[in-house]
Amino acid sequence: MTQAGMATAPPYPQKRTCPYEPPPGYQRIGEAGPVLKVTLYDGREAWMITGYREAREVLTHPNLSSQRTHPGFPIVAPRFRSQIARSLALIAMDPPDHDIYRRYLNPHFSLKSVRRMRPAIEEIVAGYLDAIVEQGPPADLVPALIVPLPSLVICRHLGVPYEDHDFFQDASGKVMLGTEEESGRAAQDLVDYIDRLVTQKIKAPDDALLGTLVRERVATGDIGHAELVSIALVLLIAAHETTSSSLALGVITLLEHPRQLARLREDLDRLPGTVEELLRYIATTDLVATRVAKGDIEIAGHRIKAGEGVLVSGTLANRDPGVHERPDEFDILRADTHHVTFGFGIHQCLGQNLARLELEIAFHQLLTRLPGLRLAGPVDDLPILGAGTVQRVLSLPVEW
């Protein structure tokens, strides 16, 4: 099917009917791709990229901008219209400013740096599993492990007091999944909180990431107070929300595919490959990029004009039949696990190494310490909060 075979540009986003599967309507969108027009919530149209190769081309194209204040930038939900959402550090920036920030931050999220965090993360996960085992089945993994794990890890890394985690967990959830009013208010509350925290770090910097940036970058004039607040806001939300959702959806996917789970239990050395396959398959955040064209470009025979919006669907690019064999099957032994879940090019996810490590450690301890792990009820009964582009599991009762 081509776009010409569809009466109108299909609506985007669409809600899922299964936690880990794309919405049913996305099959037609994928068939009409790899480049097509979709209709956003406000009636505007934008280009959507659904092909894997085309996605990588777009994600590295110099004529596409991340500047969310551009009048043609595609806003996919009302909650992303706030001034804070449209001026986020890193995410809403183009070179050279973006490159400068990444240069400051990359060493703190490098593979070498993250590997040094393994013992601490293993200890954190073990502590949560101790409590789960002591309580006994059934247990709700969301409050017992899935939400607090990434929160505690990023708190320690940034130097954010963990006693405030309830506040920023609630606020970050509203930023990502709330109404326009809730999202805007929660974002401002987070900015105010981080602003006070940065002020404290300037007075008494510690050895955590924010304190280090205060000494190395704020004190030298490389970045200002407000810039550090914006950076911290992005790191706090991104590190918590997406990793938490990926862990929850990953657990559900494994438990709903018993043959694959049995293969993994046979050889836990398959965990790194399993994590990559889960990242390809579940697509916690459907979009890996939103852009606006700075000038005319041509992608797969389609001319995208200056000022037009462009969306990149990780969900569909990761299931491109031209790149992946049996793309809609979950297979932990597949060789073609490559994906664009973390993006590609200069905007590739800064925290991807940390996210992978957290997922790997959490799955390992869940499977080794909770033999016979299974859902406590039908998957259809699980409360999932989905706002089209992001999925959040509110409760995940399990038995073992």
Quote the pLDDT of residue 388.
62
Least confident of 23-37, 39-53, 153-167, 374-388: 374-388
Q: Are 297 and 64 in contact (CB under 8 A)?
A: yes
Quote the pLDDT of residue 87.
87
16-33 tens-digit pLDDT? 888 889 999 999 999 998
- Asked whether the predicted pLDDT for residue 385 surpasses 90, the reply is no
CA distances to 37, 70, 229, 289, 304 from 65, in Å: 18, 9, 23, 10, 13
344 half-sphere exposure, CB direction, 13 A CA radius: 21
Quote the pLDDT of residue 183.
83
Q: How far apart are CA 113 and CA 214, in angstroms?
A: 19
Number of structural domains found in the chain:
1
**Residue among 205, 24, 7, 174 at smallest CA distance from 84:** 174
**Residue among 122, 20, 57 at smallest CA distance from 312:** 57
**Residue among 211, 278, 209 at smallest CA distance from 242:** 278
Phi/psi at 305 (nearest 5 deg)? -85, 155
Q: How far apart are CA 68 and CA 13, in angstroms?
A: 18
Residue 389 DSSP SS3: coil
Residue 284: pLDDT band with limits 50, 70, 90: confident
Helices (H), the chain: 26-32, 52-59, 97-105, 111-115, 118-135, 141, 148-158, 165-177, 180-203, 209-213, 225-255, 258-266, 271-282, 314-317, 352-369
Give 80 or 304, the one with higher predicted confidence: 304
- Asked whether the predicted pLDDT for residue 86 surpasses 90, the reply is no
Q: How far apart are CA 93 and CA 87, in angstroms?
A: 8
Model-level pTM? 0.94
**Residue among 148, 111, 114 at smallest CA distance from 131:** 148
Q: How far apart are CA 352 and CA 363, in angstroms?
A: 17
User: Which CATH number fits the domain that encloses residue 209?
Assistant: 1.10.630.10
50-77 tens-digit pLDDT? 999 999 999 999 999 999 999 999 999 8
**How open is the CA angle 88-89-93, to the nearest 5 degrees?**
90
Quote the pLDDT of residue 239.
84
Helix, strand, coil tally for the chain in percent (to 5): 55, 10, 35
Residue 97: pLDDT band with limits 50, 70, 90: very high
- Asked whether the predicted pLDDT for residue 248 surpasses 90, the reply is yes
Quote the pLDDT of residue 214.
95
Q: How far apart are CA 160 and CA 236, in angstroms?
A: 9
- Asked whether the predicted pLDDT for residue 6 surpasses 70, the reply is no
Least confident of 60-64, 178-182, 200-204, 234-238: 178-182
- Asked whether the predicted pLDDT for residue 82 surpasses 60, the reply is yes
Quote the pLDDT of residue 59.
96
Residue 219: pLDDT band with limits 50, 70, 90: very high
The whole-number average pLDDT for the span 252-277 is 97
Residue 158 makes CB contacts below 8 A (sequence gap 6+) with 208, 209, 210, 232, 235, 236
Report the Cα 383 to chain-centroid distance in Å: 19
Q: How far apart are CA 147 and CA 76, in angstroms?
A: 26
Q: Are 389 and 40 in contact (CB under 8 A)?
A: no
- Asked whether the predicted pLDDT for residue 4 surpasses 70, the reply is no
Beta pairing, strands 384-386 & 391-393: antiparallel
**Residue among 330, 154, 340 at smallest CA distance from 243:** 154
Least confident of 119-123, 235-239, 264-268: 235-239
Take residue 184 and report the two structure tokens written for it: 């805007």
Quote the pLDDT of residue 318.
97
Take residue 388 and report the two structure tokens written for it: 């089209």
- Asked whether the predicted pLDDT for residue 5 surpasses 60, the reply is no
Task: Fill in the amino acid letter for 167.
Answer: F
313-358 tens-digit pLDDT? 999 999 999 999 999 999 999 999 999 999 999 999 999 999 999 9
pLDDT, mean over the chain: 93
Counting residues of the chain whose pLDDT is more than 90, the rounded percentage is 79
Best mean pLDDT range from 7-16, 44-53, 160-169 = 44-53
Q: How many CB atoms lie within 10 A of CB 353?
A: 18
Residue 62 domain boundaries: 3-399
Residue 154 makes CB contacts below 8 A (sequence gap 6+) with 160, 235, 236, 239, 240, 354
Quote the pLDDT of residue 283.
79
